Amino acid sequence: MEQSRKILVKARKGDKKAFEELLLKYDKKVYGYIFSLIHNQETALDLTQDTFIKVFEKLYTFDLEKNFSTWLFTIAKNNTFNYLKKQKKAMEIYTKEETSITADNNNPSQIYEKKEEAKELYSIIDKLPKKYKVLIYLKYIERLNYDQISEKLNIPVSTVESRLYSARQRLVKKINSYKSGGDF
Amino acid sequence: MKCYYAQKYINLYLDGELKSEKIDELMEHIEQCEECREKYMQMNKLHNSLERLFTEKELPLGFEQQLLNKIDKEQVKENKIWNIPMIRNSFVATILIGLIFGTFLIGTNKVPNSTKLKTSMSVREIRNGPCELVNMHKEFNSIEEAEKAIPSILNIKFPKYIPNGYAVNKVIYDINKGKYMVTINYINTPDKVLTIIYTDPAPKQSLDIKSSHAKISEAGKSDGELASISKKSSEVTKEVKFTTSNYDLTILLKYNSEPQASEINDKDELNKIANSIIREKNNDKIK
């Protein structure tokens, strides 16, 4: 059995050590992702923590045949988007906070644009057909090369290549339809 | 280079999969071809955005430990709530009963006398416990002895009934990686093995059992009926599952060879055991 799958199997049964391994593998990625949507260090840390607590609680429901990072980032996304929805004037508040809390040298409007871009991009990825979405996750979150993806999904390398190509084509097309000439 | 290949190569180049000799070719083409240059710019922007979106960000020192501590605290809290009888008894218990019979005993419905105590039966209870860091393995000669020795905080309820003809052999108590398990071993005859496992709260996924279902109209009152018994040719396995309003009860029978005698006796025996557990759990609830 593949090592990462073994860890997942154990963690799913409540093994804390295995869960810790998952945490160490993914927490910086999840934090980076949430930060790109929030641009507030304190809030992003809280949401990262909440995400992993939810993951720990729900891990027993995870289908081992599915891709873990897709599942994990869906929880992170839902958590973050729910948080954003709850904040009626979130953007203004965040913008004020950012100038005081974060060490981000960009001005508030730049930060706002970045956050909006990240949100839009993630929404677009989320709407991709599953077979393309998995490829994007394995490439950009798991950082796997074509051979590794091919092995993991049990598909030929040529299919990995063509699907990633199609996934990007679709993303570019969607982005262009969202805003003409946007800075994605 | 044709544009078709150039666009294919752009993809490979961004993924670091393009061979070095092709990179020069691609760059040369991009310089000359406006359409491919535009394509490259778009793909490169997208690639950078994706990289940014999923870039790892350094976490403050101690973040992981803090998070794990928080999870531990949450678990202890849950266990405290779990220990309130009314709540504890509203769980869904999953019971797995495995019976392994020797062919010569199949169909034997006689209650063996004390000199024939040879069959074994195990009852297990697995639950998340608050003892996260302690690993322990202890064996006792009786349930009473185990109950005295096991910390009361764990609030383990042993099944009190003992099926006819069985006697307690030993009680094994384990804590391992935050989970504790109690195994009660009963003896009857050497070739007939009955295992009952019930888990609460039920991580049902860990019990990889596929079986048919049977409804018991009211938990604890009806004797219920076992669902149809299926056989797997290799292991001669019978699987049965009860579903009640409060409990899932899965019963697994294993024969070491093709059973020859009537299955009715097995059904009756399992039925009684299953309903004894349900009744016992319901009594806990009433208390």
Which chain B residues contact residue A29 at CB under 8 A?
Answer: 54, 56
Residue B159 in tokens: 């099944």
Same domain, yes or no: B90 and B225: yes
In the predicted model, is pLDDT for residue B46 greater than 70?
yes
Boundary-marking domain end, from A65, A85, A113: A113
In the predicted model, is pLDDT for residue B44 greater than 50?
yes
Same domain, yes or no: B222 and B272: yes
Q: What is the pLDDT of residue A36?
A: 85
Closest CB to A27: pick one of B42, B47, B63.
Answer: B63
Same domain, yes or no: B83 and B216: yes
Boundary-marking domain end, from A62, A78, A113: A113
Same domain, yes or no: A100 and A181: no
In the predicted model, is pLDDT for residue A41 greater than 50?
yes
Same domain, yes or no: A50 and A104: yes
Answer with the residue of higher pLDDT: B274 or A47: A47
Same domain, yes or no: B21 and B124: no
Phi first, then psi: give them for residue A132, nearest 5 degrees.
-85, -40
Which chain A residues contact residue B19 at CB under 8 A?
Answer: none
In whole angstroms, how far apart are CA A27 and each of A33, A39, B11, B253? 10, 17, 28, 44
Averaged pLDDT of chain A: 81
| A119, part of any domain | no
Boundary-marking domain end, from A113, A137, A166: A113
* Number of domain units in chain B: 2
| A63, part of any domain | yes
Answer with the residue of higher pLDDT: A4 or A74: A74
Give bridge partners of residue B186 from the DSSP assignment. Answer: B121, B168
Answer with the residue of higher pLDDT: A15 or B142: A15
What would the pLDDT profile of B136-148 be if each residue is shown by its tens digit?
667 777 777 777 7
The CATH number of whichever domain residue A159 belongs to comes to: 1.10.10.10
For the residues A11-24, what does the mean pLDDT come to? 87
What would the pLDDT profile of A163-182 be if each residue is shown by its tens digit?
999 999 999 988 888 765 44
| A135, part of any domain | yes
B208 touches chain A (CB under 8 A): no
Instruction: Report CB contact under 8 Å: A53, B205.
Output: no
Most confident of A40-44, A46-50, A107-111, B238-242: A46-50
- ipTM comes to 0.76
| B113, part of any domain | yes
Q: What is the pLDDT of residue B255?
A: 42
* SS3 category, B237: strand
B218 touches chain A (CB under 8 A): no
Q: What is the pLDDT of residue A31?
A: 93
A109 touches A39 (CB < 8 A): no
Closest CA relative to residue B172, chosen from B127, B122, B128, B119: B122
| B59, part of any domain | no
User: From B133, which residue of chain A is nearest by alpha-carbon distance?
Assistant: A16
Same domain, yes or no: A47 and A92: yes
List the domain range (segments joined by +) for residue B134.
75-286
- Distance from C-alpha of A69 to C-alpha of A78, rounded to nearest angstrom: 14
Same domain, yes or no: B101 and B159: yes
Work out the percent of chain B whose per-residue pLDDT is above 90.
3
| A56, part of any domain | yes
| B276, part of any domain | yes
Cβ burial of A145 (10 Å; 0-12, 13-18, 19+) is middle
Same domain, yes or no: A151 and A182: yes
Q: What is the pLDDT of residue B166?
A: 64
Same domain, yes or no: B39 and B117: no
Same domain, yes or no: A107 and A141: no
List the domain range (segments joined by +) for residue A3.
1-113
Q: What is the pLDDT of residue B101?
A: 31
Closest CB to A31: pick one of B7, B11, B57.
Answer: B57
In the predicted model, is pLDDT for residue A17 greater than 70?
yes
Closest CA relative to residue B56, chosen from A75, A48, A62: A48
Same domain, yes or no: B183 and B257: yes
Work out the percent of chain B whose per-residue pLDDT is above 70.
30
Q: What's the pLDDT band for A10 if we cut at 50, 70, 90?
A: confident
| B182, part of any domain | yes
Same domain, yes or no: A62 and A137: no
Same domain, yes or no: B103 and B144: yes
| B63, part of any domain | no
CA of B171 to nearest chain A CA: how many angstroms apart? Answer: 24
Q: What is the pLDDT of residue A130?
A: 87
Same domain, yes or no: A95 and A172: no
* Number of domain units in chain A: 2
| B246, part of any domain | yes
Q: What is the pLDDT of residue B145?
A: 77
Least confident of A98-107, B25-34, B71-80: A98-107
Same domain, yes or no: A63 and A15: yes
Averaged pLDDT of chain B: 57
| A121, part of any domain | no
Same domain, yes or no: A46 and A107: yes
Same domain, yes or no: A182 and A92: no
Same domain, yes or no: A134 and A164: yes
In the predicted model, is pLDDT for residue B181 greater than 50?
yes
The CATH number of whichever domain residue A24 belongs to comes to: 1.10.1740.10
Same domain, yes or no: B155 and B20: no
Same domain, yes or no: B81 and B192: yes
A83 touches A36 (CB < 8 A): no
Same domain, yes or no: B188 and B282: yes
Helical axes A68-86 vs A108-126, angle rounded to 10°: 130
User: From A31, which residue of chain B is nearest by alpha-carbon distance?
Assistant: B57
| A174, part of any domain | yes
For the residues A107-135, what does the mean pLDDT come to? 80
B104 touches chain A (CB under 8 A): no
| A77, part of any domain | yes
What would the pLDDT profile of B86-145 be if each residue is shown by its tens digit?
333 333 333 333 333 322 233 333 333 332 232 334 444 444 443 334 456 677 777 777
Same domain, yes or no: A100 and A146: no
In the predicted model, is pLDDT for residue A158 greater than 80?
yes
| B9, part of any domain | yes
Q: Is the pTM of this model over 0.80?
A: no
| A37, part of any domain | yes
Q: What is the pLDDT of residue B246?
A: 39
Which chain A residues contact residue B178 at CB under 8 A?
Answer: 14, 16
Same domain, yes or no: B15 and B79: no
Please report the sign of the dihedral spanned by the C-alpha atoms of residue A123, residue A128, residue A131, residue A136.
Answer: negative
Q: What is the pLDDT of residue A107?
A: 62
For the residues A3-15, what does the mean pLDDT come to? 83
